[in-house]
Amino acid sequence: MKTKKIVLPDSELPRQWYNIVADMPNKPLPLLHPGTKQPVTKELMNRIFVEELVNQEMSTERWIDIPEPVQDVYKIWRCTPMARATQLEKALDLPAGIKIYFKNESVSPAGSHKPNSAVAQAYYASKQGLHRMTTETGGGQWGSAMAMAAEMFGLDLRVYMVKVSFNQKPYRKMMMNTWGADVFASPSDTTEVGRAMLAANPDDGGTLGGAISEAVELVMKNEDARYCLGSVLNHVILHQTIIGEEAMRQMEMVGDYPDVVIGCFGGGSNFGGIAFPFLRENLAGRRKTRLIAAEPTCCPKLTRGEFQYDHGDSAGLTPLIPMFTLGHAFHPADIHAGGLRYHGAGSTVSQLLKDGLFEAVDIEQVESLAAGVLFAKTEGIIPAPESTHAIYAAICEARAAQEAGESRTIVFNLSGHGMIDLYAYEQYLSGALKNYVLTDAEIAKTVSVLEKLI
Amino acid sequence: MKTKKIVLPDSELPRQWYNIVADMPNKPLPLLHPGTKQPVTKELMNRIFVEELVNQEMSTERWIDIPEPVQDVYKIWRCTPMARATQLEKALDLPAGIKIYFKNESVSPAGSHKPNSAVAQAYYASKQGLHRMTTETGGGQWGSAMAMAAEMFGLDLRVYMVKVSFNQKPYRKMMMNTWGADVFASPSDTTEVGRAMLAANPDDGGTLGGAISEAVELVMKNEDARYCLGSVLNHVILHQTIIGEEAMRQMEMVGDYPDVVIGCFGGGSNFGGIAFPFLRENLAGRRKTRLIAAEPTCCPKLTRGEFQYDHGDSAGLTPLIPMFTLGHAFHPADIHAGGLRYHGAGSTVSQLLKDGLFEAVDIEQVESLAAGVLFAKTEGIIPAPESTHAIYAAICEARAAQEAGESRTIVFNLSGHGMIDLYAYEQYLSGALKNYVLTDAEIAKTVSVLEKLI
C-alpha cells in the first residue's frame, strides 16, 4: 500500500527547539534602544516581554527544552503530517524524479503554524504569574493562535488586528472571541498611537507595524501587562523550529531528503521554522539543501529592501532591529496574505540572508492565488493566501528542474488553511484580484528615512 | 511520554467498508415507488443514482472493498486522529475512571466526515462515465465535500444549498466555488419545485427535503445527470463506516474499548459511521457498547417521530423510505446545525432504533453551543454546530457516570470543525441564540400527513 502521509508517533516528537544562533557564522547584531541607540538591556526587554522569552531571545544555546505542559498541548495536533503532493505532481505532469512534499501546519486548531509559538509564550507568561497580555495580528492567524493559547493558560488577551484584515476576515474575530479574547481593529481609538493614525487618515487600513505600536503602548502604560509577538524575534522562530525538526525526521522515515525547502515569509518565523534545522545540516557540511523564502511582490523586503537598523513598529516604540527592511513607515498594498504585510525581517534571518545562506523570491498575488486553487483542486486542501506563495515557489522549482532535466526533491511548508480567507478566493475567481509592483523610486523613498547605523 | 493522539499508519488503514445489513436481526423494509407503492426497481434507482451505489444500497454483503483510487484520496487526511480529551476531562473535574475520547473527522480538507462518502460517490460516477452530478446540502458540509470530490474525479457538480444556511454560512459557497461547483440557494427559481415553493412563500428559508426535490428534478429532466445524497441511504452510511472501523483499531492500540459511542444525528451517516462497527460486536455478542444518537430538540425524529413510510424530499419525488420521520413537510427551526435539520432517518438506522439496538437523545441549541465553547477552550478545536450535540451528550454521559460512581469510557465523533460556522458562536456569545421545543400538538400535526403503510 502506497504511503501518502508521514506522521511521527507521539513518542518520537522532538522535545527540544533548535536555536540557529548557536551555529551562525556571523551572529545577529544586537537590538538597540530606540532612544540611546545602545544595545537594549534585559531590564527594558523584561518590561515589554515575558522574562523567559527574553532569555530565549538572547540565548546562544543550541538546544532548548520544550516544557512538558507545552508538549502536552502540542500533542493535540502534532506531529503535523508530511505528505507527498502526488495529485499536484500529476496535474503538473512532472517526471518521476521531481517530487513535491508538503508539511501540513494547517491541521492545528487555529489553522496555522502560529500556535507553536503562542502555546509556548502563553505557558511562560502564566509561569511568570502574569494575567494580562497584548498582541497584534495581521491576517489573524497569530491573533487566533494566541487567543487559543491564552485561554488554555488562563490569561486575558487583547488583540489589535490590522483593519484591512479585520474587514476582509470577520470570522477571525469571531474565532478569537470564541476563545475569549478582546479584539480591536487597528488603528483604534483605544491608544494614543491609534488616535494619531486616525487623525492623520481616518480611512487608514492599518499595518502590522501600527498594530504593534498600539499593543506595545498598552503594555508601557500597564505595569502588569506584557506584549507578545508572533514572528520576527529569535524566540518566536525558535519555537517554530519544531516544524523543521519534525520534517527532517519525517523525510528520514521515507528515506528521502530535500534538495529545496520553501516557506512563505512575513517576519521570518514560518520560514525559519521549516528551514533552520536543514540550514544546520548545511552549516555543518553534512548536507546541502537550498532554502527559499517566498515573499509577496508588494512587500519585497528580502529581495529589494535594505539591511539596516529599523523599528519593529510604525510609531518607533520598539527597539531598533538589524533587518532587511522597507522602512517602518512602509505601507504595503492590501493583499489578502495579511501575514506577509510586514516591513522588515527578523535579525537572525536578515543576517543569514546577508551572508548568502538562503535565497528569496517575490511572488505576485494573482499567481499565488492561482497556485492555491490548483492545490485545492488536486490535494483538496484550500491553503491560506500566505501559504499559496510557498506553493507557487514550489511549482516554479519543479518547472525549473524539469527544464534542466534534473531530479529534485522539494519540500514546502503549508503554513495554514484558507477557510477564513475564502473571500480572497472569491475575488480571485471573479477576476477582481490585482497585483501590486513597487517602482524603484517608491522603494527608495520608503527606505530613505532609515538612519545609517550599520 | 503520554500519548494524546492515536493514529493508524497508512499500512493499517481499513480496506473494506462494513455493511450492517448483513448482520441485522430484522432487515430494513424495502424502499417503495412513490406512485405504485411497490418496492422500487433497480431500473428506477439507476435512473436517479450511480449504478454501483444502487448495487451497494441493496447489497447484503458484510464487507465491501474500498476501491484503490478512493483509498488513495482517503490517505490525504485518513487515518483521522482519535484523541483523549484530557483537557476537557480536567475542566469537568472527572474522576480517573471516566474517560472521554473523540474521533476527529474535522481534519479532512472539507472540514468534516462527509468526504468519506463524497469521494466514493464521485469515483463510481466517473467510473460509470458520467460527467454531471447534482446534490443538495444543508449546513454545507456535504456540498463542499462533494465539490472537492467531484473536482478530483473530473465531474461537473450543481449544489442546491438550503437558503437558511446559504445566508448564515457564505464561506461555504466560496469553498464550493473554489473547488469548481455551481451553488444555488434553495428554494431557487431554477426548478419547478423551487418556483412553486417561492410562489407559496417568497421568504421560504428552505429545508433539506426541498433542496433534495430540486436536485432530483434536475436529474429527472437530464438523462445524462445523476443525483447524489450525503446521508440517509445505506450506501452513504456504508462509506462512513471507515470512521468506526478506524476507531475500533485505534482503541485497541491503547488497550481500551468504549462503553458508550456517541454521534450527532442528521440523516444517520455520521452516527452510523462511528457506531455500526461497534454494533456488529454487540450483535455478535462479543462486546457491549451503548450507542447514542444525539439529535436537536427542534428536529426530534428519533425521540418523537413516527416509524412510517415517508418521502426523502419535501415534494414527494423520491421513493418512499421506511423511516422515523416527522413528515416530509416538516419545517424545522433555523438552528445553526444545518446538517441536523432533516425530517427523517435512514431505513437501516430506523429499523435498528425500532429494534432497540441504539439510544437517542435530543439536545437544545444553546446547551450544545455552550458545550462547543467549552470544548474550544479546552481542546482548542472549534467544533461544527452539528458536532456540539455529540459533545454535549458525551458530557452528560460523563456526569451520569460520575453521579452513579461508575467508570465509563466514552467515545464521540467530532464530525466537523466550525471555522465556517463561526456566526453561530458569535450569536451564542452575544446571547442571541434561542432554543426551539416543539409541542406534542405540533408534532401530531406534521406526522398526520403520513399514510399508514407499515
pLDDT recorded at residue B129: 97
- Cβ–Cβ contact A76 with B under 8 A: yes
Cβ within 8 Å, pair A373-B72? no
pLDDT recorded at residue B201: 96
Question: Residue A5 is nearest to which of B10, B174, B179, comparing CB atoms?
Answer: B10
- Mean pLDDT (chain A, rounded): 96
The residue in chain B having the minimum alpha-carbon distance to the alpha carbon of residue A382 is B109
**Same fold flag, B5-9+78-111+241-446 and B19-68+114-234:** yes
The residue in chain A having the minimum alpha-carbon distance to the alpha carbon of residue B144 is A380
Which residues of chain B neighbour A4 with C-beta distances below 8 Å? 10, 72, 75-76
Tens digits of residue pLDDT in A115-143: 999 999 999 999 999 999 999 998 899 99
If pLDDT is split at 50, 70 and 90, which confidence band does A221 have? very high
Which of B 368-427 lie inside 8 A of A, CB atoms? Answer: 373, 376-382, 419-420, 422-423, 425-426
pLDDT recorded at residue B4: 84
Mark out the alpha helices in A93-233 (DSSP H runs): 115-127, 141-152, 163-168, 170-178, 192-200, 208-220
The arithmetic mean of pLDDT across residues A403-429, rounded, is: 96
If pLDDT is split at 50, 70 and 90, which confidence band does A4 have? confident
Q: Give the up-direction half-sphere exposure of residue B298: CA atoms within 13 A in the CB hemisphere.
A: 22
Grid-cell match 516528537, residue found: A13
pLDDT recorded at residue A266: 96
Into which CATH architecture does domain B19-68+114-234 fall? Answer: 3-Layer(aba) Sandwich (3.40)
Tens digits of residue pLDDT in A336-395: 999 999 999 999 999 999 999 999 999 999 999 999 999 999 999 999 999 999 999 999
Cell of B278: 461497534
Query: What is the mean pLDDT for each group of 10 consecutive residues in chain B (454 residues)?
Result: 81 96 97 95 95 98 98 95 96 97 96 98 98 94 97 97 90 96 97 96 92 95 96 97 98 96 97 98 98 98 98 91 96 91 96 98 98 97 98 98 98 96 95 94 94 91
Dist. CA B224–CA B105, nearest whole Å: 33
Cell of A426: 472569491
Q: How far is CA B356 from the centre of its chain?
A: 20
- Cβ–Cβ contact B178 with A under 8 A: yes
Q: Domain boundaries in chain B?
A: 5-9+78-111+241-446, 19-68+114-234
pLDDT recorded at residue A9: 87
- Rounded to 10 degrees, the C-alpha dihedral A119/A121/A122/A126 comes to 140
Dist. CA B330–CA B447, nearest whole Å: 8
pLDDT recorded at residue B369: 98
Tens digits of residue pLDDT in A310-339: 999 988 889 999 999 999 999 999 899 999
Dist. CA A219–CA A49, nearest whole Å: 9
Task: Look at residue A43 and tell me whether its pLDDT is greater than 80.
Answer: yes
Dist. CA A31–CA A21, nearest whole Å: 14
The residue in chain B having the minimum alpha-carbon distance to the alpha carbon of residue A10 is B3
Cβ within 8 Å, pair B419-A109? no
Question: Residue A373 is nearest to which of B72, B75, B178, comparing CB atoms?
Answer: B178
Tens digits of residue pLDDT in A25-38: 999 999 999 999 99
Task: Look at residue A253 and tell me whether its pLDDT is greater than 90.
Answer: yes
The arithmetic mean of pLDDT across residues A252-276, rounded, is: 97
pLDDT recorded at residue B219: 96
The residue in chain B having the minimum alpha-carbon distance to the alpha carbon of residue A171 is B422
Cell of A257: 531528503
- Cβ–Cβ contact A449 with B under 8 A: no
- Cβ–Cβ contact A65 with B under 8 A: no
pLDDT recorded at residue B2: 66
Q: Contact at 8 Å (CB) between A243 and A413?
A: yes
Among residues A101, A195, A181, the alpha carbon closest in space to that of A149 is found at A181
The residue in chain B having the minimum alpha-carbon distance to the alpha carbon of residue A111 is B419
pLDDT recorded at residue A2: 66
pLDDT recorded at residue A334: 87
Which of B 117-146 lie inside 8 A of A, CB atoms? Answer: none
Of all residues in chain A, the percent with pLDDT exceeding 70 is: 100
Beta bridge partners of B262: B292, B412
Cβ-based contacts under 8 A for chains A and B: 137
Question: Residue B4 is nearest to which of A76, A87, A178, comparing CB atoms?
Answer: A76
The CATH number of domain B5-9+78-111+241-446 is 2.60.120.1270: no
pLDDT recorded at residue A208: 87
